[in-house]
Chain A
């Protein structure tokens, strides 16, 4: 007996197509199970993709680092001492911490989230003003609506140029007015606008009401020297942010004579932790979906097995005849098992097609929505393969019940005349 024997398939299909309505109703359980499973798994992926979209443009393996006041006395220094990082620190860290992909130092007018008055032709805007390196664009991507972002030449030549956010543009310019090439004034100094950016529908800590200057320009114009406000640090994709953070803090604490246990002197924010939390959440959700799906699948397959038991009962005489004509128990068993597998896999395919269609509709309805994190609800090839393997395995296992019942039929009893 070969599994791919055409005659065996003919036999199986003939029996299954004999009572189409019942065959279809039998498979409903499995269809729904697969439907639920694929929908849940797909929706979870959609949710996970939706979260990914929110974070798109923000390097997920990044952290921010800033200096504060010490909270513990150390090496003769009193507590409450203010530490200030400089460009040298960025260089030092890049050299000494191999996990670091890049450091983008930043300086800022006013305090964190503090604003400065920016003016143009009598109009004013209270904006955050940053001195940045072009590499900041790799950590937190900007969507340019006009012009370009700060580049290396701006930095090298300390050009008096700036990139402004859409909010700032709206406060300082007329609607539709071209901003690139125009000048705006920050603390009495003129800067030429080279670009306007828009928010990225994602986590955005800079907002749209900001003015970006090249770091070198900023430092000369506002006389801040080498001092930096904070650093955006991107860690190599194969390294852990937490490890890098620990090494960085150790180096900086030693350099600035900060007590090793001082929790306050250096502030930091690890972006990757948020992602880890969300990944864990979607992972649990996925496991949960699989669990529910698995049990509905078992229920569905049991329904199939049940109906096959009834068919075996109905076909007692037929099976008896087949046995009398020379069918071995093994042939009968193979046939019933094949019926079980074919029914289950067929139902699985139907469920799969329906659920894929539903996921498509869901994606059209909610995907890429502004306020709902949902995008590209899909199931992976691995998930589908596992699912189908599971269906074949389960149907084989549970199909053994009617198959064993069938081979217990004695031809002599089956053929007894009524």
Chain B
């Protein structure tokens, strides 16, 4: 699904150059649930941005579903993101003046799906994350865990190849964190490929594979025994 070969990325600020990713080799097969760990400055956010087509890279190659992702223009990147990727953010990033279902249907809107079908599909996804009674509610009427579930439903709405979750539990307490991880596991069980960036060990162990990043290189990449979370949503 994801094929990264000898990936390099540097940031230039004036005369100084910061080499952030120093040759990453990394691949993810369909249906995997991978945790990417690392302290701040390890390059994990940069890697996620490149995986999410939000940023470019200098050297190497990145194939997503056998499509080379390189030097995309803004419009093409937007279309690829819409088609291939679902984003889950630490701070949810819901649009606060749109109801739950409108937020979920946004990727479908950008795909040009008609309003009626959009609403049906959005409600179906909200139902699958256990939020059917909340479809007409605004984000500020929802709890943190509920907001993240709306965001997950939104990430799923366009039926992407890969879900990218950036610290999905970073703004949540441990109980809701577990709820969210249970949901992520459930989605993964259904066959979806998911990458989770986190710095919490326990969250990482709820995934099937953990990749450690340090100073721009992968220091370890191991398959772990997945710690299942009690699904009570």
Give chain A's interface residues, CB within 8 Å of chain B: 6-7, 14-15, 18, 317-318, 320-331, 407, 410-412, 415, 417
Closest to A14 in B: B97
Instruction: Tell me whether B143 is interfacial, beta carbon within 8 Å.
Output: no
Not counting A14-B97, A321-B95, a sample of 9 additional A-B residue pairs whose C-beta atoms are within 8 angstroms of each other reads A7-B115, A321-B93, A324-B93, A326-B79, A326-B83, A326-B110, A326-B158, A327-B110, A331-B110
Instruction: Tell me whether B89 is interfacial, beta carbon within 8 Å.
Output: yes
Measured between alpha carbons, how far is A342 from B83 in the docked complex, in Å? 31
If A14-B97, A412-B49 touch, does A325 touch B87 (CB 8 Å cutoff)? yes
Contact A328 B79 (CB under 8 A): yes
Instruction: Tell me whether B82 is interfacial, beta carbon within 8 Å.
Output: yes
If A326-B158, A331-B110 touch, does A415 touch B74 (CB 8 Å cutoff)? no
Instruction: Tell me whether B177 is interfacial, beta carbon within 8 Å.
Output: no
Closest to A326 in B: B82
Contact B75 A325 (CB under 8 A): no
Closest to A323 in B: B78
Contact B55 A326 (CB under 8 A): no
Contact B81 A325 (CB under 8 A): yes
What's the least CB distance linking B103 to chain A, in Å?
9
Measured between alpha carbons, how far is A323 from B73 in the docked complex, in Å? 13
Chain A residue contacts of B109, Cβ below 8 A? 7
Instruction: Tell me whether B90 is interfacial, beta carbon within 8 Å.
Output: yes
Chain B residue contacts of A14, Cβ below 8 A? 97-98
Q: Interface residues of A: mostly helix, strand, loop or mixed?
A: helix
If A321-B93, A412-B54 touch, does A329 touch B106 (CB 8 Å cutoff)? no
Contact A415 B78 (CB under 8 A): no
Chain A residue contacts of B106, Cβ below 8 A? 322, 325
Measured between alpha carbons, how far is A329 from B110 in the docked complex, in Å? 11
What's the tally of chain B residues with a CB closer than 8 Å to chain A?
28
Measured between alpha carbons, how far is A185 from B189 in the docked complex, in Å? 121
Measured between alpha carbons, how far is A330 from B54 in the docked complex, in Å? 17
Give 18 pairs: A residue, B residue, CB < 8 Å, sorted on A. Answer: A7-B109, A15-B97, A321-B93, A321-B95, A322-B95, A322-B106, A324-B52, A324-B54, A325-B110, A325-B154, A326-B78, A326-B107, A326-B158, A328-B74, A328-B79, A329-B74, A412-B55, A417-B91
If A7-B109, A417-B91 touch, does A329 touch B78 (CB 8 Å cutoff)? yes
Measured between alpha carbons, how far is A14 from B106 in the docked complex, in Å? 14
Chain B residue contacts of A330, Cβ below 8 A? 75
* Most chain B CB atoms below 10 A, which of A320, A325, A328: A325
Instruction: Tell me whether B111 is interfacial, beta carbon within 8 Å.
Output: yes
What is the 8 Å Cβ interface bit string for chain B, positions 83-122, against chain A (1 contact, 0 not)?
1000101110101011000000011011100010000000
Measured between alpha carbons, how far is A209 from B180 in the docked complex, in Å? 102
* Most chain A CB atoms below 10 A, which of B74, B82, B98, B111: B74
Measured between alpha carbons, how far is A407 from B78 in the docked complex, in Å? 12
Closest to B75 in A: A328
Chain B residue contacts of A331, Cβ below 8 A? 110
Contact A18 B93 (CB under 8 A): no
What's the least CB distance linking B51 to chain A, in Å?
12
What's the least CB distance linking A10 to chain B, in Å?
9
If A18-B97, A329-B74, A415-B89 touch, does A324 touch B81 (CB 8 Å cutoff)? yes
Closest to B157 in A: A325
Chain B residue contacts of A407, Cβ below 8 A? 74
Contact A325 B82 (CB under 8 A): yes
Contact A318 B95 (CB under 8 A): yes
Measured between alpha carbons, how far is A407 from B83 in the docked complex, in Å? 20
Chain A residue contacts of B95, Cβ below 8 A? 318, 321-322
Chain B residue contacts of A18, Cβ below 8 A? 97
Measured between alpha carbons, how far is A57 from B19 in the docked complex, in Å? 91
Chain B residue contacts of A318, Cβ below 8 A? 95
Measured between alpha carbons, how far is A317 from B96 in the docked complex, in Å? 11
* Shortest Cβ-Cβ A-B pairs, 8 listed: A326-B82, A326-B110, A412-B54, A328-B78, A321-B93, A328-B75, A325-B107, A329-B74
Measured between alpha carbons, how far is A7 from B55 in the docked complex, in Å? 29
Closest to A331 in B: B110
Closest to A318 in B: B95
Contact A326 B111 (CB under 8 A): yes
Measured between alpha carbons, how far is A81 from B75 in the docked complex, in Å? 93
What's the least CB distance linking B71 to chain A, in Å?
15
Measured between alpha carbons, how far is A268 from B80 in the docked complex, in Å? 84
Measured between alpha carbons, how far is A31 from B28 in the docked complex, in Å? 58
* Most chain A CB atoms below 10 A, which of B78, B95, B106: B78
Chain B residue contacts of A417, Cβ below 8 A? 90-91, 167
Chain B residue contacts of A411, Cβ below 8 A? 54
